[in-house]
A and B are shown apart, each in its own frame.
Chain A
Amino acid sequence: MSNSILESTSGESTAMSADKPVSVTVMSMQQALNRALDEVLAENPKAVIFGEDCGRLGGVFRITDGLQARHGAQRVFDTPLAESGILGMSVGLAMAGFHPIPEVQFDGFAYPAINQIVCQIARMNYRSRGTMPMPITLRVPSFGGIRAPEHHGESLEALFAHVPGLKVVSPSNPHEAYHLLKYAATRPDPVIFMEPKSRYWQKGEVDFAADGDAPTGSKVMREGRHLTLVAWGAMVSRCLQVAELAAEDGIDIEVLDLRWLKPIDAAGLAASVRKTRRAVVVHEAPLTSGLGAEVAQLITQSCFDTLKAPVERVTGFDVPYPSGDLEDEYIPNIDRILFGIQRVLEYKRG
């Protein structure tokens, strides 16, 4: 793939750094995901992509744009509007030696496929004593932020993370999207790949080579001394904004992109919070039994003696995801995250 690094398709721009022969390309998350899938299809003849509108249209978010033309309708194709069928077919294809990369068009449409995901995909390897692995990469455009109707803004990470046998990952920017998807699509186990749809159009530098940048575990996106903000998906860029604002007030914040939501990088969490001694978890999903609880427990377990305050959670509310008009009230905004930070900062023992 080394030659392709310098190739630039329309809309992308390539920059060369003077001292190192490393190049980064500026592209949107859509383009980065598209590039990753294109390469996966080229590298793995057993990889197949399918879902509602994935083929001819190239996906409602254009993530599979042009893939059917380049790789043929045998490998990139449309399915009926039936998520249980899409995932059921994935099980059969995986049994037959393929690497299915199905798409569930929107988070809320995963519910009709839960039986296939939980009772078949997650368990087949276990049930068959390792003779039927399920190398399935399920792409789910996830989370809110695009003013869409019901079923188009939900955060299902806690549901998936709770199921033994599933791995769950969510990228926060184009670079992460490219590398995490390429890595996920080579795993022998099912991976739920949660794409933050509100960040699809965000452009960022992608370093295709990324030597030494392991696609596993969490990743420190900004270093800081006073407090760790833990986030994933679309909330990472919001936390980075918050960190810049907090710096104006003299608070130095570390932002940890959790990336893998199952398994969670307990060591990475511990390393960051041992240093900062304060933590706030931010997610869009509702508070109760959200993944923030798991993160808070892991931090407490490893950092109990050094923590200066209980771990705070800034999350969505315990209500069904609201319509687009009310979305800004639901998703943690900058002020709510700042309030959470303030609560931790002013905590007094006893």
Chain B
Amino acid sequence: MSGRHTGEQHSHTVEGTDPRLYVGVHDPADDAGLRPVLLLHGFSSSAKLNWEDTGWIMALTQAGRRVITVDLPGHGRSGSPEDRDSYSPSRIRADLLQIAFDAGARPLRDGDPASGLDVIGYSLGARLAWEFGATQHELVHRLVLGGPNVADPLADFDLVAAQRYLADGTPIADASTAGLLKMAQLLPSNNIFALLSLVEAIKDEPFDAAEAVPPMPMLLVAGEQDERAASMPELAKLGARAGSMVEQLILPGRNHTNAVTSRAFKQGAISFLAV
């Protein structure tokens, strides 16, 4: 594989503090001449787990695409800032915009296939991609949203119960909260308190898909056994109402965890973005 981690930290700070986000740029051996693809991973994951180990970076670079990855704050190789503001979705979106420009993305121009930016997001990354597309329509060309939520499950996260559990082991009553915390604790690389800061910040800015809808073409993808597959038509309807062209792809036999590696997902995304 020719793509390499440059490991560059983006050099501009937005709104004061540096969130120390870890950015990777992967160049293809044979550049197809298309706009770069920004990959946004899910909660408690990382660019490596969500995109590299699953074969996405190799598949995209082999398709001639330049790939930009970023670890969300408190995840992967990014820093875990002390201030809660660094974790707010709006702040993260601002940082992503700066990262995309630093990595060479340029506003869309008619007739220039190298202009603009394609975004692929998974789970929490899909939420960020939805909002990013809705606010950056001069930049974003197309979106691929994997395992997308209509509402954010993190918004209902019982922070108090989680903190009590972490302090003295008191069991967590809410099954969703317990499940998310277990997932976050599985990876020793996760900074659990940074992840809880992210949850707190998300509770302040919960996802409202209808509030701002991306106008560009979207591919929605979910595993057949992922409950989000059932709510995908709602997102599709919102998109269609806003004038967006929306395609949906269901991956047979897959769930929210193992849909990520699916060849059908990768091939669907690559062909959807190859225009």
A–B direct touch in complex (beta carbons closer than 8 A): no
Chain A residues in contact with chain B, CB under 8 A?
none
